[in-house]
Structure 1
């Protein structure tokens, strides 16, 4: 049933951009290959019912091991870790340009597989290219340390070296963007990688690796395996030939893969769930704040770990803020993601749509007030209306759990201390936002909020120069900026005696 309040554009299947199913191969040791067992996984677009848009190999444990060993050989004996930073930088820059040149192709792939709008996908492809350009520019200038104050007879060095073979497991919501937050930094540090994208959205990652190969990246440096977490992703965590595991996904799966990696004393980087607070003080620019809040939670259907899913608003501004948000929700156009006028596409698949519905029903049953939304929008695809709850208690599931859907829970506060307490009342600490015209108050507040990626008078902004990562159960490690190169580096202590003393230890 279509909402009377939300504009909906029925998905159309006649678009020439998806008349042909895309058939992909994995990339192992520089070669495009099928799974050794010959099995495949088909992907139906979440936006267009029963329309198969891609087919990928269903990798076996043997396929995953071949990719890992190819990356191991490329690291141990290949040219990539031994190249100068200048040489690596030039290749990474070419890859960034190739991604930008193919941004429309890559955007269409993600539009069809993920269900996000073509406009959203285009923006992500441009940002991904910029990430590669940044990493390329800084790969040439990576440094260690010297210690020249150890006396006349000694000098100390801290040598930066690549950590080795990196396994990277990416989620279904931003496959190329999240891959581009990690892969160029790992490659720039001199590592080799094996990437395992989600089985739902593998196409853009495969194309990215193919473009990298075409740009001159040596064989075995960038491998992509496709299939299910068990056995493929699991082996990346368990295999003794991988030195580092980067995982982006749910807290539950992060616990599992982190435990598997720990059994081999393997370093891990984890970006897990979020339940982002957005604190709105009454002195804020409420027009700008409401637009940013709506974009954060309703854009891509709320399927972002940094989505601002908790609205914590100062009591005098509560009614006006809700009124503004409802008006925006009424104007949001949902539906066919290939339509240039659509703001929000489809949720990822039917089980996830049902999960979002179950949380909304639980919120109603618990006594929260449904302000707007709370319904499916079509029997075709997996579309859900922007949904806002008020009168939410902190012990409700809609207040505590990461729903990963377009569902906003609203709370009121009287003092800055109450706002901070509400913001920190979660197991997560991935993102947070503060809105106020009083920059002193905003800075004092943001310093008390336990989250790794935060904004003042903004929502979702960032730059490749700035590191990202989580606090608490939102994960460990940092990506991007110079922190990203540190993540994929290890440091060797070299103490040099300049004038060895010939006095024997034992006479």
Structure 2
């Protein structure tokens, strides 16, 4: 496969040197990927700008553009196993996740938005002017920078690229330098599908390349998934350049509330899945647990047993349940925060150390004796580290909601209860973009995805992504003459 930049329909070497991408299970180098220079980024943005006016793209009928997206989905399916294996080698996620979530999910997103292409409509509006017809048009924003993270590189790129193309935009893709390989391969498949040159461009490299796109005066919209800290830098760069449109899906610190009436076995199973999916490297992962005092010990004992029973190993091993963390750097981040938890007085029930192996493996970790003010209850760890605290049945529900909301983040949350009243009251009170009741945090292409507070701006997926990638134009047609 190519490991070069893709600009205006051509694969080319970048002017910024090379970056190694590693297999997290072995720490071995998989590929050397070229890095873009300032002139490369400028060329990619210019190519995307020219392609906006290319009749081959701009004049494509909706039914033709829909067919193109369906073809991309078919090509993803045809290369399903290849893409899943590549995702696991580069990112580390268990092969079952790469197959069922990443590769399958990518194809599903393209099919979903292929169906939207012929249904993007304007409105006619009853304005209070005589002899005037008013209607709206939905038009592409223009040049979009799609900046993606390292945890689900293929699927997250698909959920940005599919609606961007469905609405007639052009794009410059910048994947994480840690996991660029499936993004490169997807661009190859997009090219194979017949997308006109310049519509989809790819620039690889580190954060400096993303910064060039953030401040670029000819980029109209950035869709970014990643850390809140980087989201703030993008916001500042946008404000100082051209006030480009921003869609930001940022960090999370999801609370999980386990009520006294919850089925504890179901809650344990769902929280194990929701906290250790992709080794906890999920922005919506369940990380801080509020358990009714009467059920706390049972919950802790069963969670510890469940964590201890997870099979740790390379993602390509079919029996692996918990793969490696993505990099040595990120493993150090997780281990540092576990040490901080110990120093602040939390008790490690299980885990708390690097696991054996040449790769970046970390043992799933469960803390109890946790205080709401501890760092591990506030800072995003992004690893298999769980912190359990309790609440009294005598506490007012409002007080529990306040504790769950005691974070700068607001991406996701979960509630475990058999009582519909409790479920609705907690779901209404918790400030999060998505509240999952009695289930793990798996997004769906038809439902909105995004956060409150420092978890970002805007929503992706479903019809909300159509809004994110279009401008609404107001047309006033006076016919009184």
TM-score (norm 2): 0.96
1:112-131 matches, cutoff 5 A = 112-123=89-100, 124-131=102-109
In structure 2, the residue matched to 1:271 is 249
Deviation of 1:299 (Å): 2.1
Q: Does 1:86 align with 2:67?
A: no
Q: Structure 2 residue aligned with 1:314, among 287, 292, 301?
A: 292
Q: Aligned partners of 2:298 and 2:55: how far apart in 1?
A: 62
Q: Structure 1 residue aligned with 2:443, among 444, 449, 462?
A: 462
In structure 2, the residue matched to 1:137 is 115
Q: Structure 2 residue aligned with 1:104, among 81, 86, 91?
A: 81
In structure 2, the residue matched to 1:448 is 429
Q: Aligned partners of 1:364 and 1:146: how far apart in 2?
A: 62
In structure 2, the residue matched to 1:27 is 6
Q: Does 1:491 align with 2:472?
A: yes
Q: Aligned partners of 1:47 and 1:25: how far apart in 2?
A: 24
Contact in 2 for aligned 1:23/1:55 (Cα 8 Å): no
Q: Aligned partners of 2:87 and 2:232: how far apart in 1?
A: 28
1:214 is paired with a residue of what secondary structure? helix
Contact in 2 for aligned 1:74/1:192 (Cα 8 Å): yes
Q: Aligned partners of 2:36 and 2:337: how far apart in 1?
A: 34
In structure 1, the residue matched to 2:51 is 74
Q: Does 1:251 align with 2:232?
A: no
Q: Aligned partners of 2:94 and 2:378: how far apart in 1?
A: 28
In structure 2, the residue matched to 1:404 is 382
Deviations 1:329-379 (A, max 9, x none): 121000121100001111111121111111111111111111111011115
Q: Structure 2 residue aligned with 1:386, among 354, 357, 364?
A: 364
Deviation of 1:150 (Å): 3.7
Contact in 2 for aligned 1:23/1:54 (Cα 8 Å): no
Q: Aligned partners of 1:492 and 1:107: how far apart in 2?
A: 41
Contact in 1 for aligned 2:117/2:167 (Cα 8 Å): yes
Aligned length: 476
In structure 2, the residue matched to 1:300 is 278
Structure 2: where are the runs of 5+ without partners? none
Structure 1: where are the runs of 5+ without partners? 1-21, 501-507
Q: Does 1:55 align with 2:36?
A: no
Tell which deviates more after alignment, 232-241 or 188-197: 232-241
**What is the RMSD computed on CA atoms of the aligned residues?**
1.3
Deviation of 1:80 (Å): 2.0
1:80-479 matches, cutoff 5 A = 80-123=57-100, 124-148=102-126, 150=128, 153-230=131-208, 232-263=209-240, 264-414=242-392, 415=395, 416-479=397-460
Deviations 1:363-415 (A, max 9, x none): 11111111111011115111011101111111111010001111011121224
Q: Aligned partners of 1:78 and 1:356: how far apart in 2?
A: 50
Q: Aligned partners of 2:78 and 2:434: how far apart in 1?
A: 30
Tell which deviates more after alignment, 197-206 or 350-359: 350-359
Q: Aligned partners of 1:144 and 1:284: how far apart in 2?
A: 46
